[in-house]
């Protein structure tokens, strides 16, 4: 079996009860408590702490935020702003002076310990005067609900952006590496349909939300691409456009977990991932969400555009 997603490639799924885009009003108290103390002018330029800033989404959030005129503090364990979710000693310096922050928890928004870390981080952010926190979450990932709730309970203006499976999983990171090396995508995605989202759309939504003051405070925004595709469809589309044949090999989640174990992924993480894939890749994500249009006033980027650009950029060349 080809290498698996390991740490970087998780999240993204859904269940039907998560399709709502507005949290219940009991969770909206932060809107009232922060209103008096925050600047409300949406056009304000801000200092934005971007976690996961070297990753698929964070790098695009940093870019979009800079394009919008904000000052970016690009944070990761590798810097330039040192930040580690597992080391609270790094949080204060990363947060100090920031007006807002984008939170991409690692290894996953729903992984063990995520709720505790995000809750503590959000409270620290509030103490330091950070006014708006945007959490990257995953559509329908029930394991992520505790993390979202911890954010909402922290007393800081918050927004959750729940994303569909990223298109860039096929072009960046371990799954893409495996495709390039072995010519196949081995994955427990069965024949389920998923509206893959371009992470640039996720990033633009995040930055628009941050720039909109109170408008999306206390909201859960679900974002997806505009077209349902199976993993097999996606791989076939990449093959057609790129002129290199890739195959899709669906496997059971437990089989996939065994392979991850073989690659040295810690047991707790393997168990989490098996549960995640068994629940989130059962077809529950087979619907499109309108968050991109709601926030950006346009539809999401087409998967075929992502593929064409990837081919042009040699994303699937050996």
Ligand X SMILES: NC(=O)c1ccc[n+]([C@@H]2O[C@H](COP(=O)([O-])OP(=O)(O)OC[C@H]3O[C@@H](n4cnc5c(N)ncnc54)[C@H](OP(=O)(O)O)[C@@H]3O)[C@@H](O)[C@H]2O)c1
Q: Which residue is nearest to ligand X (CB)?
A: 55
What is the rounded CA–CA span in Å between residue 70 and residue 72? 6
Q: What DSSP state is assigned to residue 2? A: -
What is the rounded CA–CA span in Å between residue 207 and residue 111? 25
For ligand X, the closer of residues 10 and 18 by Cβ is 10
Contact 181, 152 (CB under 8 A): no
Does 173 interact with ligand X (rule: CB under 6 A)?
Answer: yes
Q: For the purposes of burial, counting CB atoms within 10 Å of the CB of 107, is it exposed (0-12), middle (13-18) or buried (19 or more)?
A: buried
Which of positions 6-35 make contact with ligand X (CB under 6 A)?
8-12
For ligand X, the closer of residues 77 and 180 by Cβ is 77
Residue window 84-103: x/- pattern of binding to ligand X, with contact defined by CB under 6 A: xxx-----------------
Does 311 interact with ligand X (rule: CB under 6 A)?
Answer: no
Q: Which pair of structure tokens corresponds to residue 53?
A: 């800033």
What CA dihedral angle connects 253, 256, 260 and 263, to 10 degrees? 180
Which of positions 125-164 make contact with ligand X (CB under 6 A)?
136, 138, 163
Length of the chain, in residues: 318
Does 185 interact with ligand X (rule: CB under 6 A)?
Answer: no
Q: Closest approach of Cβ 42 to ligand X, in Å?
A: 26
State whether residue 163 is helix, strand or coil: strand
Q: Closest approach of Cβ 192 to ligand X, in Å?
A: 13
Q: Closest approach of Cβ 40 to ligand X, in Å?
A: 29
Site for ligand X, rule CB under 6 A = 8-12, 51-58, 76-78, 83-86, 104-106, 108-109, 136, 138, 163, 165-166, 169, 173
């Amino acid at each position: 079996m080809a290498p698996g997603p390991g740490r970087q490639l998780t999240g993204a799924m859904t269940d039907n009860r998560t399709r709502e885009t507005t949290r219940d009003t009991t969770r909206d108290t932060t809107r009232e408590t922060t209103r008096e103390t925050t600047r409300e002018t949406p056009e304000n330029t801000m200092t934005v702490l971007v976690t996961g800033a070297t990753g698929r989404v964070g790098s695009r959030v940093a870019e979009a935020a800079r394009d919008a005129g904000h000052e970016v503090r690009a944070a990761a364990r590798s810097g330039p702003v040192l930040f580690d979710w597992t080391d609270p000693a790094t949080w204060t310096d990363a947060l100090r002076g920031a007006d807002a922050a984008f939170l991409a928890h690692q290894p996953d928004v729903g992984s063990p310990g995520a709720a505790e870390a995000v809750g503590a981080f959000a409270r620290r952010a509030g103490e330091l005067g950070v006014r708006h926190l945007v959490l990257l979450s995953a559509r329908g990932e029930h394991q992520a609900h505790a993390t979202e709730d911890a954010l909402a309970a922290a007393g800081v203006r918050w927004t959750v952006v729940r994303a569909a499976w990223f298109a860039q999983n096929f072009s960046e990171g371990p799954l893409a590496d495996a495709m390039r090396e072995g010519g196949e995508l081995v994955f427990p995605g069965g024949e389920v349909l998923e509206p893959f989202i371009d992470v640039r759309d996720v990033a633009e939504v995040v930055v628009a939300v941050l720039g909109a003051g109170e408008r999306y405070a206390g909201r859960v925004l679900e974002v997806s691409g505009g077209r349902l595709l199976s993993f097999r469809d996606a791989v076939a589309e990449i093959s057609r456009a790129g002129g290199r044949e890739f195959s899709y090999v669906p496997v059971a989640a437990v089989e996939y977990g065994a392979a991850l174990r073989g690659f040295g992924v810690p047991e707790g993480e393997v168990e989490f991932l098996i549960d995640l894939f068994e629940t989130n890749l059962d077809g529950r994500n087979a619907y499109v969400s309108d968050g991109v249009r709601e926030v950006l006033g346009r539809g999401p980027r087409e998967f075929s555009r992502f593929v064409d650009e990837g081919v042009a950029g040699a994303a699937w060349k050996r």
